[in-house]
A and B are shown apart, each in its own frame.
Chain A
Amino acid sequence: MSFADSFLNARVAAEYAPKIIAGMGVTVVLALCVIAAGLLAGLALAVLRAMGVRPLNWLIVFAVDLFRAVPPLVVIVLLYFGLPAAGVTLPGFAAAWLALSLVLMAFAEEIIWAGITTVAKGQWEAARALGLRFLPCFVLVVLPQALRLVIPPLVNRTIAVTKGTALASVVAVPEILGAAQAGVSFSFNPTPLTLAALAYLALFLPVVILGRWVERRWHVR
């Protein structure tokens, strides 16, 4: 069998392309849900942390450390296969979404927090001197600057986490990789995997290139 017959087989490609394209839809929806939840939660935690309530901060730091230290696949597996024992049975999509969102939340919180602490005390003092109270000071002066500062690392980390949507194939979510694996097994031909790789590249390559552009545009030395 020639390389093309094996990896670029038109007949097999035509047969399994629909499933893979459907999988692309699932991947996109999952990724968007993760980005929304993860970034919002991360921002919320960072703001909470800025309020300076000691015991709350310890909790936040612990949660963030937890989801930065444990591999995302382990979290997904734990939520999907472990929770039913506690009476909570999440469908695969929900388990993958929750796990990846928690991971993104943890990283986002750290990144945003680092930005907040970088927008040094000088800003705080200046704003206070102008008579602004904590909340307006924080929201109008510190946060905007912090966010501008952290956009490059935040974008990069978000891209890295959303690629984890491929892990959802392990918990029976009908996304690209799962469809490809079935195709390879039924047809004894690796073309579905080639299609899967192309599908992922079609989805993420533009995003990576966008990330590069964002980095260059927003980079603050």
Chain B
Amino acid sequence: MFADAFLNAEVLAEAWPLLRMGLVQTVLLSLLVVPVGVLGGLLLALLSLARSRALRWAVAAWVDVFRALPPLVLLVLVYAGLPFAGIEVSAWGAVAIGFFLNTGAYYGEILRAGIASVPTGQMEAARSLGLSRAHALRLVVLPQAVRNVLPDLLSNTLEVVKLTSIAAVVALPELLFQARQAQSLSYNATPIMAAAAIYFLLLWPLVRLLSRLENRAPQRTT
């Protein structure tokens, strides 16, 4: 009975083409939003180094707002709301914008903490060797910053990949969306079970890796 409802081979065979297409979309989505988010985060982290107090405060406020707003709400707001402002936005576009804003804020916080964790002596030494501020940042500070917060960066990346599942709500045909489509055709829960299994197989290695890293280094802020 349980097997029939959740592990039905016949339904799975029928649903497989849909699921496979969905998986491809999920992978493509991830390949889009992770770099976009990191870029946004880098921008914010660098802005937070500004000399102007007002600018630093503005960045902090921006980050807090986009960490407080649930990503799904942001996505729906962009997808359904922007058209009213005359801006046409496809599902992919809405996802790109929404993730840029949301995950950018998270990556920004992590990178900011990373930069702050690099001793100021490093920057001073680099400057005294004749490097410009920009060069010092790029060649000396940032690499160390990234190394310091690598577990957090990876952890956030895992979160971002999982977050792609919300794109189903704006009808982007990624894995969860296709699983629900298949389910509505067959009235059987197997496709959703299969989707969960696929996510697990896809992401479990990263989870294990993170576990190892987190348990080796002393506990830091996320």
Bound-complex Cα distance A24 to B70 (A): 13
The answer to whether B159 and A69 have CB atoms under 8 Å apart is: no
Bound-complex Cα distance A179 to B100 (A): 26
A165, closest chain B residue (CB): B70
B60, closest chain A residue (CB): A212
User: Which of A65, A66, A74, A153 meets B176, CB within 8 Å?
Assistant: A74
The answer to whether B192 and A74 have CB atoms under 8 Å apart is: yes
B152, closest chain A residue (CB): A153
CB of B207 within 8 Å of the partner chain = yes
The answer to whether A189 and B65 have CB atoms under 8 Å apart is: no
Write the nearest CB–CB distance from B63 to chain A, whole angstroms.
9
User: Which of A77, A181, A209 meets B180, CB within 8 Å?
Assistant: A77
The answer to whether B81 and A7 have CB atoms under 8 Å apart is: yes
The answer to whether B65 and A205 have CB atoms under 8 Å apart is: yes
CB of B196 within 8 Å of the partner chain = yes
The answer to whether A200 and B69 have CB atoms under 8 Å apart is: yes
By a CB distance below 8 angstroms, the chain B residues around A1 are 84
By a CB distance below 8 angstroms, the chain A residues around B69 are 197, 200-201, 204
By a CB distance below 8 angstroms, the chain B residues around A115 are 219
List residues of A (64-120) whose CB comes within 8 Å of B's CBs: 65-66, 68-75, 77-78, 81-83, 85-86, 110-111, 113-115, 117-118
Among the stretches A32-40, A52-60, A130-138, A156-164, the one at the interface with B is A156-164
CB of B132 within 8 Å of the partner chain = no
By a CB distance below 8 angstroms, the chain A residues around B121 are none
B83, closest chain A residue (CB): A190
Question: A residues engaging B (CB < 8 A)?
Answer: 1, 3, 6-7, 65-66, 68-75, 77-78, 81-83, 85-86, 110-111, 113-115, 117-118, 149-150, 152-153, 156-157, 159-160, 163-167, 169-170, 176-177, 180-181, 184, 189-190, 193-194, 196-197, 200-201, 204-205, 207-209, 212, 215, 219-220
4 closest residue pairs by CB, A with B? A85-B5, A82-B189, A166-B70, A204-B68
